[in-house]
Chain A
Amino acid sequence: MRTERKGTDGLRRAAEVVFDDGFSERCAALVSRLVRRRAGREGAGRASLLGPGEDFAGHRPYRHGEDLRRLDWDLLARLDKPFVRVERREAGERWAIWLDRSASMGIGAPGKLQRAAECAAGLARVGLALDARVRVVLSAGAGAGARSFELRRSADWGGLLAFLQATRAEGRAGLAALCESERPGSDRLFGIGDFLDGEPRKWFVHHTRGRRLCGVQVLAPTEFAPPLGSTRLVDLEDGQRVELVVDDALLTAYEQRLESRIDAWRTAAARHGAIHVAGSSARPFEELLTPLLGD
């Protein structure tokens, strides 16, 4: 859905969030896809989103045809009978989803904030399906501090959609501001934004033992591939302008520079055992979340 409008300064923006009628069904499909994958992987591996957080529940007798990797070899040696380990997902995990809603998120068609909000809502739905408590935090808007919404059960999800639809891209505070002001207090921390306002170290300072960090970097199509020609670029957060003629050489240099920025985030994420996904707001939110779901 396109919500791009021209602002009073003549610049096109997509500052608002609108969830269309089919969005809930798309999230439900995402969850059922995840559940099917979990069933297929019961005890046999770990999806990214399901990584740490599984614990030992007990033993049961080995059934013919089961994966021998699940066999408890110590018990077999001691009792001379085959048993397999039974693990269950730890209930009551806490998730935090930080959402950048600074003015620069109002760029693109569809807007970066729209796609980021869809990712946040989709993740929250997945978290609820996994019995996690989910807290969605919005960065501070113009004249307002950071706001949050907590979900404990599936019925809360509708409230989250309303919460997200009430927000708009404004102000200068993004993920970097949240990194400084917020304490995650969660087992998983998801950051969703353009990741253009800070350095990786500010984000990965929240990486601690037992906490998994996932970053979803959303950029506008024109930020990935700016058009050639004479243009005046405007930073919506500080109002600064640069007028330039974009030719092939300049465009190539820009693309290389942007790629190196994104690579820096990916490298830092890999070093911390975290996940960092970068994509265009033109891509569906399911595609952006796919790497987090372990595909």
Chain B
Amino acid sequence: MLGLEFQRASALFLLALPLVLWLLARRPRPPHERATGTLDIWREVLERSAARPTTRGRGVPPGLYALFLGLALGALALAGPRTHREAAPEWRVVLDTRASMYLPWREEAQSAGEDRRIDVALRAAREWIDGPALWTRFDGAHWESVRGLEPPPDWLRATNRTTTAMPWSEVDRADALWVTDRAPESREASWCASGGAHVDGIVGRVDGRLVELRDGARIELGAASPVRLVLDASLPRELRGLSEAWARERGIELVASGADLRVGSGASREGARVVLGDGWQLSGAAAQEPAGEVLWRDREGAAALATRTGQLQLALTDPLAIEGDRRAFALAWIDALESSVPPPPGAVAPAERRAAGPGGRHRGAGPGPPADSRHGTLASWLALAAALLVGLGLRAGALRV
């Protein structure tokens, strides 16, 4: 792929001009008739040369081909072609996908289906984004990046929100443009913050009942639908027992499938893994490292326990050994289970629901000029070639025909 894009793609219709001229040049038409007194000399010349009198349609003189090519290149140059390398300045647009970004920008707009904070911030950011950008989000564990004119649509859906804090410092760079709700502090990055009012709504479930914030007060609503839990067979026996006890205590329903939360171990791997906790040590056979938000790491720093939406996965399997303070270990495991329980639908943490302030935006240095801009763009080279070819075509006497 050439990776070309055009600044003025509408100018490409001018490519039709050389085509039309070429067709006109090839159009058969009666030759120009001219009187002469030297017809017998012409006959002698024709007899001696390979040329013969002709009644065929007009051929296109070679000079005209140079002219046509020059016009075509000129049309391309006018369209402003550029490679991705030339297409700078390209922003790295860092999209904040935490739950607060999907709240209505104004509380009263919630029911009217009006703008969300993410929509308002994006609209402000687009005023600075000219052309494709490197869209970036943090999924709770890794940065994802996609180049394009728009962010991936599923990033704009609340179901894909990030549950962890944004590590802004990792993307505090001149070419970064943060799209968020609360005005952040940056050293080099530019940002657009939507701001936004406080938004009441469901914040979670407590003891099987939904809890909502309304005018700043906590209100307990009716019973929430019970959380359903699946404990995979791969989960070590001792942890299964702990998990079942926690489920009973919390009123969580154990099911075989269709769960809100699935807990298990990854596929077995060779070797052993040891996790050191606060007063306890967990050792066992190694299993596949989990993806998502890392809750525990082993002695080597590899992920040993991680959670992501509706899933809690352990990188150890039987035979498992718990040493040290077993009670402390049990509390740590239950904490992990608690943090993995998905909130009820529509629930957003109270901290996220807080007002995001007036918003605003700040433009830093921004992305720099392209590295090769001093050496001329593709368009300027095309324009030069077009001028040379048109000049050549005219010089070759194309217009005399």
Residues of A within 8 A of B (CB): 10-13, 104-107, 112, 194, 196, 219-220, 222-223, 226-237, 240-245, 247, 249-250, 253-254, 257-258, 261
Contact = CB atoms under 8 A, between A and B. Distances in A.
B51 A244 contact: yes
Contact of A250 (B32, B35, B43, B49): B49
11 contacts: A10-B33, A226-B34, A231-B34, A233-B35, A234-B33, A235-B37, A236-B37, A243-B53, A244-B53, A257-B45, A258-B38
B182 to A, nearest CB: 75
Contacts of A245: 51, 54, 58-59
B55 interface: yes
A274 B74 CA distance: 61
Main secondary structure of the interface of A (DSSP, over half): mixed
Contact of B41 (A107, A243, A254): A254
B55 A243 contact: yes
Contact of B48 (A194, A241, A253): A253
Given A242-B53, A244-B51, A245-B59, A231 B41 contact: no
Given A10-B33, A228-B400, A233 B41 contact: no
Contact of B401 (A223, A226, A229): A229
B39 A240 contact: yes
B38 A196 contact: yes
Contacts of A227: 400
A229 B400 contact: yes
A235 B36 contact: yes
A11 B37 contact: no
A222 B46 CA distance: 18
B25 to A, nearest CB: 11
Interface string B74-113: 0000000000000000000000000000000000000000
Interface of B: 30-46, 48-49, 51-55, 58-59, 61, 397, 400-401
Nearest to A11: B35
Contacts of B37: 104-105, 107, 112, 194, 196, 219-220, 223, 235-237
Contact of B35 (A12, A244, A249): A12
A234 B34 CA distance: 6
Given A243-B54, A244-B54, A233 B36 contact: yes
Contacts of A10: 33
